[in-house]
Structure 1
Amino acid sequence: MDQYKTLVELLEREEPQVNTDRQNEKSEQEPLLGTDTVTQMAIVVRDIESTADAYCKLLGVDRSSIIQSGPGEMTKIEFRGQPTEAKAKFMFIKTPLIELELIEPDDASPSIWREHLNTKGEGIHHIAFVVKNIREKIGMLERMGYPVIQKGSFWNGRGEYAYIDTTSMYKVVIELLEKYEN
């Protein structure tokens, strides 16, 4: 399934999958990040236009706008500890359970997305979780041996993100997102 940049699995269940509110369920173990909800799955691509067309057709949804990365003074991105513009194009496709993010990195701008495309090719890049107290969560993960690869601001500077190198344990990069209400 080259046009989707990943393998698509079709699954039939005897019982329909229902999106439930799990906050009322008691668990003996608290989720490490303070949430058990995967908010987003991101796919790095070479051609966002054709990949977006393929996913929108697959999901039967209208195509959303392609967003260009913001100016460096707003995004304040650091990649492997160094400031960068990390220019890219993004598209967010909503589904009932998870958001798909398509990312087409700029060729001339260092970023985790460009690195992934150069070393691994197109495909799944990260899964994202919306968290509270992102800096606390980053510190906890760093103490566990999972370093920050890239971080910056998003949502017009009213939010932070951090990509954590969790590939040794989880086989994928984990992104932490926090939106500020102010």
Structure 2
Amino acid sequence: MTGWLGNRVITQIGILVHDIEQVSGAYAEFFGVDKPPIAETDSPDMAKTRYRGQETAARAKLAFFDMGPLQLELIQPDSEPSTWREYLDRHGEGPHHIAFVIEGMEEKVMLLEGRGFPLQQRGEYEGGRYAYMDTLKDLKVIIELLENDKR
């Protein structure tokens, strides 16, 4: 059985930081790898980000460490309303989400909402879309759903 998502493989762990340059350098040194490039989420017109049902211009700087089958994502949010900004302001730096690649985004979002896990934020990225589900109360971490376009 593969559970509600149809996939039990954790693809990514997301960590919120105040200073992505400093923290990505610390991880690179710790792992003995090159420091990854710092990317930025797409512009609001491309990302179509919605936070708690409202459009938001939120963006974030991102750094990705590919660690075998698991990706470590560092996230430095801007000051616009977002799940990243809210969580960083309330809880400080540290783990924010675990992510799973899924198929059928709308169905999975509706399933989780029906089980008491509201959609917190959603958006688009080149080649797919994401949704953060508020699973904190029961799972103690936010779940991110990632759906990549079929090639």
When normalised by structure 2's length, the TM-score is 0.96
Using the alignment, how far apart are the partners of 1:59 and 1:162 within structure 2? 29
Superimposed CA distance per residue, residues 16-58 of structure 1 (whole angstroms, 9 cap, x where no aligned partner) = xxxxxxxxxxxxx332211110000000000000100111111
Match of 1:7 in 2: none
Match of 1:148 in 2: 119
Using the alignment, how far apart are the partners of 1:163 and 1:173 within structure 2? 7
Question: What letter matches 1:132 in structure 2?
Answer: E
Question: How far did 1:97 drift?
Answer: 3.2
Of 114, 133, 138, 1:169 maps to: 138
Match of 1:36 in 2: 8
Alignment of 1:22-61 (within 5 A): 29-61=1-33
Match of 1:18 in 2: none
Using the alignment, how far apart are the partners of 1:117 and 1:87 within structure 2? 14
Aligned residues: 151
Q: Which runs of 5+ in 2 are unaligned?
A: none
Of 107, 129, 135, 1:136 maps to: 107
When normalised by structure 1's length, the TM-score is 0.80
Of 81, 90, 94, 2:66 maps to: 94
Using the alignment, how far apart are the partners of 2:52 and 2:31 within structure 1? 35
Question: What letter matches 1:145 in structure 2?
Answer: G
SS in 1 for 2:110: helix
Q: Which runs of 5+ in 1 are unaligned?
A: 1-28
RMSD: 1.0
Using the alignment, how far apart are the partners of 1:34 and 1:70 within structure 2? 28
Using the alignment, how far apart are the partners of 2:74 and 2:21 within structure 1? 10
Q: Which runs of 4+ in 1 moved over 3 A?
A: none
SS in 2 for 1:99: strand
Question: How far did 1:124 drift?
Answer: 0.2
Question: What letter matches 1:169 in structure 2?
Answer: D
Instruction: Specify the structure having the higher radius of gyration (Cα).
Output: 1
Alignment of 1:5-84 (within 5 A): 29-84=1-56
